[in-house]
């Protein structure tokens, strides 16, 4: 089914029965051993079923035993499936961050970020345990040195250990994404992970603009969604 607004294919959520754009959903398939498996890249073979991309909706699908009915096969649904999907989305975001770092699109450390504010940053990353005072001071400095003085998105999705491992550095508390394609990819992945944690399972119209209301991360990239 196509989105009547022309924004790509729509799918029906097996938990809520709501129709959404495929970019707002997660595809699941049955692995060869019958285990329900998330297909985040939408490339795994076999019959696929779709669930709204939120932890609440995936949990609802597990509770209702909706996967077996929709896949029309005896399957094993892991009880921790909602958490597994969330962790996979976080992992994808961290992998995108690692690639951006390899491309030279990440600046680490408060001093270097302040000194490089003129380069143009797409977002700041703060470790979850970063102090509020440190965050405020850095963001004020970056905003003051930017051309238009407008605040940029701030991401607090990851721990310092996760940032350090992804960036191959020790004790990363603050980092910044340099504006460009690698930063856009990171923001898209972060947006998906944040949306999964915070989006309600309630039905929604598929015409709602993607990225609206997602933890202040303003990005307009769209995913490419192949038809089944």
- Tens-digit pLDDT profile for residues 138-151: 988 888 776 666 67
pTM > 0.85: no
Task: Note the pLDDT tens digit of each residue in 87-115.
Answer: 999 999 999 999 999 999 999 999 999 88
Rounded-to-integer distance, Cα 109 and Cα 134, Å: 11
Domains of the chain as residue ranges with CATH: 10-81 (3.30.1230.10), 106-179 (3.30.1330.30)
**Which pLDDT does position 178 carry in this prediction?**
94
Average pLDDT for the chain: 84
226 phi and psi, to 5 degrees? -70, 150
What's the rounded mean pLDDT across residues 38-52?
A: 94
Q: Where are the beta strands (DSSP E) in the chain?
A: 10-12, 19-21, 25-30, 36-39, 49-52, 106-108, 121-126, 154-155, 174-178
Whether the predicted pLDDT of 36 surpasses 70: yes
């Amino acid at each position: 089914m196509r989105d009547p607004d022309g924004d790509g294919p729509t799918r029906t959520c097996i938990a809520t029965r709501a129709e959404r754009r495929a970019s707002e959903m997660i595809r699941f398939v049955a692995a060869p051993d019958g285990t329900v498996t998330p297909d985040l890249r939408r490339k795994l073979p076999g019959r696929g079923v779709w669930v709204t991309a939120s932890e609440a909706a995936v949990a609802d699908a597990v509770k209702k035993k909706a996967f077996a009915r929709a896949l029309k096969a005896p399957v094993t649904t892991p009880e921790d499936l909602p958490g597994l999907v969330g962790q996979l989305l976080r992992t994808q975001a961290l992998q995108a961050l690692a690639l951006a770092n390899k491309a030279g699109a990440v600046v680490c450390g408060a001093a270097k970020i302040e000194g490089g504010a003129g380069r143009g940053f797409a977002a700041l990353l703060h470790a979850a345990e970063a102090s509020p005072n440190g965050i405020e001071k850095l963001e004020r400095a970056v905003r003051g040195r930017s051309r238009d003085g407008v605040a940029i998105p701030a991401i607090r999705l990851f721990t310092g250990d996760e940032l350090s491992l992804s960036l191959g550095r020790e004790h990363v508390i603050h980092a910044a994404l340099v504006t460009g394609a690698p930063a856009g990819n990171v923001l898209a992945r972060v947006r998906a992970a944040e949306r999964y944690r915070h989006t309600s399972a309630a039905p929604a119209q598929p015409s709602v603009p993607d990225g609206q209301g997602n933890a202040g991360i303003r990005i307009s990239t769209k995913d490419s969604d192949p038809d089944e």
